[in-house]
Amino acid sequence: MQEAYKLSILHYLAFSLLLIVSAVMLFEHKIGFSYSAVLEYYIGNEEQFISAQSAGGVLKIVLPHIFVFGLFAMVLLHFLVFTKLREKKSLLLLIYTAFGVAMLEIFSPFLIINGFEFFAYIKLFSFFALLALILYISWLLFESISYE
C-alpha cells in the first residue's frame, strides 16, 4: 500500500474519532441516554414545558444526516474494501449492517413521534450500535495500514 494512501486513511480515522466524540457529547447534551429522555425530546413533556417535535422539525434534522451518514459510511467502507478483508464474506455483512443501523438511527424518530414509543429503545440502540460499528471498522482499517 502506498504511503500517501496510508496517511490519508490515518487522517480520516482521526477525524472519524473526533466525529464519534462530538456525536456522543451532542447526543448526551441535546437528548440524553435514557429511554425517558429520548421520549421527552421527541414527544415532549407538558410538566417540564418541553414541546413535542413535529414531523417537519425532525425532517430538518434528518435531511442532512441522510447524506452525511451515507457518505461517511461509504468512504469508511470503501477504504476497507482495499484491504485484505475484501475477500471475506463477512465484509458484505458488515456493509449491510452499517447501512441498516444508520437507517434505523436516522428514521426511528419518525416512528417515535407517530406514537411508537418502543422505538426510543431502537433509537438508543442504533446510536450506540452505529458508533460501535464505526469504531470497529476504524480499528480494522488502522490494523490493515499498520501491518502492511
Q: Where are the domains of the chain?
A: 3-146
Tens of pLDDT along the chain (148 residues)? 578 788 888 999 999 999 999 999 999 999 999 999 999 999 988 887 878 888 999 999 999 999 999 999 999 998 888 888 777 778 889 999 999 999 999 999 999 999 899 999 999 999 999 999 999 999 999 988 876 5
What's the whole-model pTM score? 0.89
What integer pLDDT is reported at residue 148 of this predicted model?
A: 59
Calpha distance 10→96 (Å, rounded) = 24
Calpha distance 144→148 (Å, rounded) = 7
Q: In whole angstroms, how far apart are CA 12 and each of 8, 37, 62, 134?
A: 6, 32, 24, 12
